[in-house]
Amino acid sequence: MYDWMVAQQTPLLRLLRRLHDLRVVPFVGAGVPMQVGLPGWPALVNALAAQVQARRSASPRQRLPADPLLAVEHLRLALGDSYLPSLQRQFELTPRHKAEIQTNALMKALAQLECAHWVTTNYDLVLEEVLRTTSQGVDSYSCWADEVAINCFLMGQPRRRKRRAVIHLHGLLSQPEDVVLSESEYQERYWRAAGGRVRLATLLSTWSALFVGTSLADEDMKSVLREVRCRFRSRHAPHFWLRAAPVDDTDRLHWREKFGVEIIAYPPDDGHAALAPLVEWLAQATPKDAAEGFQHILRERELGSGREGVDDPNKNRFGGSAQANGWILDASVRRDPEEAGWYSVRLRVHGTGVARVTLHLHPTFPEPVVSLGDIHGHAATRLQAWGAFTVGAVIWPADGRPEVRLELDLAEVRGAPKAFRER
């Protein structure tokens, strides 16, 4: 566990719980095979453009569209029959690539994730090579061609098994008729033929996706994520994206609310060195041990700063009472029906008159200070929590009276489950 993970405790614990319940499907992008030397989008476009230019040595270099899908469309037409063989050469796994797969830290970490179902937008077999190291076998599916197998994939019950299944959303180069790389091929897959889009939406509405090694810049993938978010809106973002920092609060809110994707940021560097230990931690940690580990780090930080009350830093900071000057802070707690091991907390502030209200949560929440704005007598909000803590409320009456400070220890809420109160 690393210090930079503590501020992201809530999404990390939710992801760990989903992994533990076998409800996660990793979505692996081009950033993973790039770790062993295969090309990403810019390198691929440059390689294909160089081949076109070699054919036209006496002509000026062709100016390509900035959009990579349109650029590949132009190059596909220019290369003609040599287009697919050129792609196959670019993504062929050589002995050097296979040796790198065996020693690469990210590949080893991915192989430890106990997920039976995997999805990738890549055309190569790097993921299969990775998973064979910890599997009794790997089944590869090119796009959605094998309907019986794909339906079993989509509707199968989560279970621990040694055999893995990998769907290549955009095809395998060994089956060139399924490859989706250019603009016209994307249009056919996502818009003209409904089957692929419907199946992807089904997958994203029944499983939690864990995006690894992707920039999520694919507009067609984002359109499906947004459709699923709108049709099956839940209180919590169901998907997760491991992404290099920096990530600001505005960006997190954009992806969470618009696409249902929770960003988990790791420290940036040129080689994405922090990604491998993060994936390894996700593969090895349990929700219980992780929660205790986060609390230990927070305790060490608070002790080092000379402050007490590390486990509950709001305790006795907001007046010690849940009722004052005609205002009351109360709560109800129940098991979260959508997330096993988590709890749904409803916080309510009520009193007389108009006032501006701010709630103060535990500092491990992504947004520890929540503004309820100007309220007329009462207001309520819901949040998801792992265990009990003290909530603080600051109320500024509109009539100019002094501010009111309230606090409520959720461990003392009547009817709260015992496991929640004791955490």
The answer to whether residue 162 scores a pLDDT higher than 70 is no
Q: What is the pLDDT, as a whole number, of residue 138? A: 83
**What are 268's two structure tokens?**
């940036």
Q: What is the pLDDT, as a whole number, of residue 278? A: 94
Instruction: State the amino acid at position 146 in one-letter form.
Output: D
**What are 42's two structure tokens?**
């810019």
> Where does the pLDDT of residue 195 fall: very low under 50, low under 70, confident under 90, or very high at 90 and above?
confident
Residue with tokens 């499983």: 207
Q: Between 81 and 196, where is the model more confident?
A: 81
Q: What is the pLDDT, as a whole number, of residue 161? A: 58
**What phi, psi does 298 have (nearest 5°)?**
-60, -40
Q: Any idea of the CA torsion for 41, 43, 49, 50, to the nearest 10 degrees? A: -170
**What are 204's two structure tokens?**
């994203």
The answer, as to whether pTM is greater than 0.85, is no
Q: Between 320 and 156, where is the model more confident?
A: 320
Q: What is the pLDDT, as a whole number, of residue 158? A: 57
* Burial class of 182 by CB neighbour count within 10 A (0 to 12, 13 to 18, 19+): buried
Q: Quick one: what percent of the chain has pLDDT higher than 90?
A: 34
Distances (CA, A) of 43 to 9, 52, 193: 36, 14, 29
275: closest CA among 113, 167, 82?
113
Q: What is the pLDDT, as a whole number, of residue 400? A: 83
The answer to whether residue 306 scores a pLDDT higher than 50 is no
Q: Between 163 and 253, where is the model more confident?
A: 253
The answer to whether residue 307 scores a pLDDT higher than 60 is no
> Where does the pLDDT of residue 146 fall: very low under 50, low under 70, confident under 90, or very high at 90 and above?
low
318: closest CA among 409, 252, 257?
409
> Where does the pLDDT of residue 105 fall: very low under 50, low under 70, confident under 90, or very high at 90 and above?
very high
Summarize the confidence of residues 176-182 as an average pLDDT.
85
Q: Which of 42-46, 141-145, 209-213 has the highest mean pLDDT?
A: 209-213
Q: What is the pLDDT, as a whole number, of residue 160? A: 61
The answer to whether residue 234 scores a pLDDT higher than 80 is no
Q: Dmax over Cα atoms in the chain, in whole Å?
A: 86
Q: What is the pLDDT, as a whole number, of residue 189? A: 84
Domains of the chain: 3-38+92-290 (3.40.50.1220), 41-90 (no CATH), 323-422 (2.60.40.1970)
Summarize the confidence of residues 282-310 as an average pLDDT.
70
Q: Between 84 and 364, where is the model more confident?
A: 84
Q: Mean pLDDT for the chain?
A: 85
Condensed to tens digits (0 to 9), the pLDDT of residues 323-349 reads 999 999 999 999 988 777 788 999 999
The answer for residues whose C-beta is within 8 angstroms of residue 158's C-beta and 6 or more apart is 21, 22, 23, 116
